[in-house]
Amino acid sequence: MGSLSAANAHLCFDVFKEMSYDHTTENLVFSPLGLLSALALVLFGARGDSASQMEKVLHLNELTRTANSSNTKCEQDTGVHSHIQALLSEINRFGHSQIHMASGIFAEAAHPFLPKYLDCIEQLYKLKPENLDFKNNLEDARMQINSWIENKTNGEIKGLLPHNSLVASDQLVLVSAISFRGTWKYAFQKDQTRTMPFRSDESQSKAVQMMRLEGYLKLGSVVEPRVQLLELPDAEDRLSMVILLPSEDIGLGQVTREITYEKLKHWLNSASMKDTGVVLYLPRLRVDGLYEDLTSILTALGLIDVFDHSRANLSGLTAGGGLAVSTIIHKAMLEVTEGHSEITPTTHTSTVENPEIFKVDLPFLFFILHKETWTILFYGRISTL
């Protein structure tokens, strides 16, 4: 799955940089895998130039050329979707680390899905594309999508689509929602949480609830740009939360511009990342990603044809032509708090001698990584609390 993880990561950094241009000060969290799994539902039905353009923007070109399909009926002689399905199945095997992900595709009733498309999407992605009456029953369609997302995310994400988020002319709506609540190898104990300052910039600070844990964690530093990295493993040692804390004279903007998937892997695999006795101070986090229609961001990255009625070729999805993607809604929710760590005896706080202090009291970046496949599940920025 290495090529798919790399494609997912390149999409991650592309989208996040575009997001940052429009949202310079807000906290951001986004799931590249959630977005990729939603766009894959369109890619499966795309043909011709529309498919080629999607593969390029999603960085799936190499994977498409080299993959071998075991099911040509549902793969169009490529293995892209089998790769994605296998990765999603691996992610969904988690127990204590609570990840709930839902990606869905909804088309106007006048454009019924092809039977083959329905069969293959259900086989590959274990979901059923639905036709809704946007033209005549818009509010009912919105409520149906919201109910579907709420059910699929086990109630974690409610009311995904606010009023006026859809219009009667919508033809093809993609939704992607994902939530995460971490359970960690070392526990954040509630009685250790203290009120401490978080400095959003040189002149402003705010009192926040700062959690504390003590344990042996991988800790390292990078010379250029000057950042510290800390890896916080989950209770099952399958996921890690990676925190990138810039030095006080380095802004998040510079790090965001310079970071790449290759650099991140190099930093985390370098000799500077050592198991270290650490006292970690981390703000209590609940980050609800901004409600976001990603069509303009994806257009800026070169995904154009599927949004244009005159150019979109989605003939593997519905018959008759004239169908284009109207909107792509993505939302991610992440929570890192006390109270989700008391699972096994190994999660109790350890006592270490002469620990390093790692205090996250400045704006920072974070990733949630699936360690075995090096897949980025979440990428986020905390600017203010």
Q: What are phi and psi of 193, to 5 degrees?
A: -75, 135
Percentage of the chain beyond pLDDT 90 is 64
Q: How far apart are CA 71 and CA 74, in angstroms?
A: 6
Q: How far apart are CA 305 and CA 116, in angstroms?
A: 23
What is the arithmetic mean of pLDDT over 131-141?
Answer: 96
pLDDT band at 12 (very low <50, low <70, confident <90, very high): very high
CA angle 43, 45, 48 (to 5 degrees): 80
Q: Is pTM, for the whole model, over 0.75? A: yes
Q: Which fold has domain 2-182+287-334?
A: Antithrombin; Chain I, domain 2 (3.30.497)
- Region 190-283+341-382: CATH code: 2.30.39.10
User: Tokens in use for 380?
Assistant: 């986020």
Contacts of 96 (CB under 8 A, 6+ apart): 183, 234, 235, 236, 343
- Is a pLDDT exceeding 70 seen at residue 285? yes
pLDDT digits (tens, 9 = 90+) for 210-226: 999 999 999 999 888 88
pLDDT digits (tens, 9 = 90+) for 313-359: 999 999 888 899 999 999 999 999 986 544 444 445 567 778 999 99
Q: Where are the alpha helices (DSSP H) in 187-314?
A: 252-258, 261-269, 295-300
Q: How far apart are CA 157 and CA 334, in angstroms?
A: 11
Q: What is the mean pLDDT of the chain?
A: 88
Q: How far apart are CA 336 and CA 132, in angstroms?
A: 36
Q: Write down the pLDDT at residue 78.
A: 59
* Residue ranges covered by each domain of the chain: 2-182+287-334, 190-283+341-382
Burial of residue 359 (CB within 10 Å: 0-12, 13-18, 19+) is: middle
CA 75 to chain centre: 25
| 145 DSSP 8-state letter | H
Q: How far apart are CA 231 and CA 212, in angstroms?
A: 15
Q: How far apart are CA 344 and CA 96, in angstroms?
A: 10
